Amino acid sequence: MSSVRESGFLFRRLAPFVPCVLPLLGHGELVIRNKWQLASARDVFFSSHYWRLYDYLSTPPSHIVDLGAHCGHFIVLCHTVITERFGHDTAQYIAIEGMDDILPSLTDTLQSTSLSSQVEIIHGLAGKRGGSAHLYSGANSAMDASVRFRSNGKRRDREAIPYVDLDSVLPSTIDILKIDIEGSEFDLIESFPDVFLRTQLLLMELHAGAKEEAALQYKRRLAEMGFRECSSSIDKHDAVLMIYARA
């Protein structure tokens, strides 16, 4: 186990100079060149959660929204799944990310995979209807940055980041909505119910202290909005991963 940790540590140090390059289907390459891209790729590609998307697409999607886009790897996975399912991907993506440190890695991912022309990047927080907030992150990673303070966390010493008015930037119909906003899910569903009402397929990571109770509460709210759970939830150590479709 120690050798695995050491090799991972070594790769994170060498990746900026000797990146890992993986050719994609068709065109473009997925490049892993820093610790954020490595952590993001692990969370997206090495879990069955997002790959389940393939089974719930009946027509090619046109509008896809990624709230908490991190390094853009869900967009890459989504593009791969859609291309394999339908032979092409012409969807327009909106990627919303609050961490300014991660934005260069998001841009780098989209450029290396030749997806930049399909993606609009918006810097800001998703959750509340207005205002701004500071982000807190764990001691060892910025990938779990949240507006909610944690006892083992630290606040990034930066200016507060504004919330995005989702009603003004998102399309009238959303084929796929991915949510990974580290604890702001309840703010989101209460502040922007119309965003959920115009969504067809929802993939979400629900972060909360009492996960089981929070998941039940969120599921009841989604059922009221006309969603049905179309796949069993996956319980991770810090989140519940859920897929819902409009009934």
Distance CA 147, CA 155 (A): 9
CATH of domain 47-126+136-246: 3.40.50.150
Size (the chain), residues: 247
| Domain extents in the chain | 47-126+136-246
Question: For 72-126, how does the pLDDT look when each residue is reduced to its tens digit (9 = 90+)?
Answer: 999 999 999 999 999 999 999 999 999 888 999 999 999 999 999 999 999 999 9
β-bridge pairing 154-155 and 29-32: unpaired
Question: For 54-73, how does the pLDDT look when each residue is reduced to its tens digit (9 = 90+)?
Answer: 999 999 999 999 999 999 99
Please state the φ and ψ torsions of residue 205, each to the nearest 5 degrees.
-105, 115
The predicted structure's pLDDT at residue 143: 53
Q: Could you give the 3-state DSSP secondary structure of residue 119?
A: strand
Give the bridge partners for 203, in sequence order: 178, 243
Give the bridge partners for 22, in sequence order: 30
Q: Are the C-beta atoms of residues 57 and 81 closer than 8 Å to each other? A: yes
In 3D space, the residue among 124, 60, 112 whose CA is nearest the CA of residue 86 turns out to be 60
The predicted structure's pLDDT at residue 243: 96
Name which residue leads in pLDDT, 3 or 42.
42
Q: Are the C-beta atoms of residues 164 and 125 closer than 8 Å to each other? A: yes
| 42-46, 155-159, 173-177: segment of lowest average pLDDT | 155-159
Distance CA 181, CA 147 (A): 9
The predicted structure's pLDDT at residue 16: 64
Rg of the chain, C-alpha, whole Å:
18
Type of residue found at 44: V
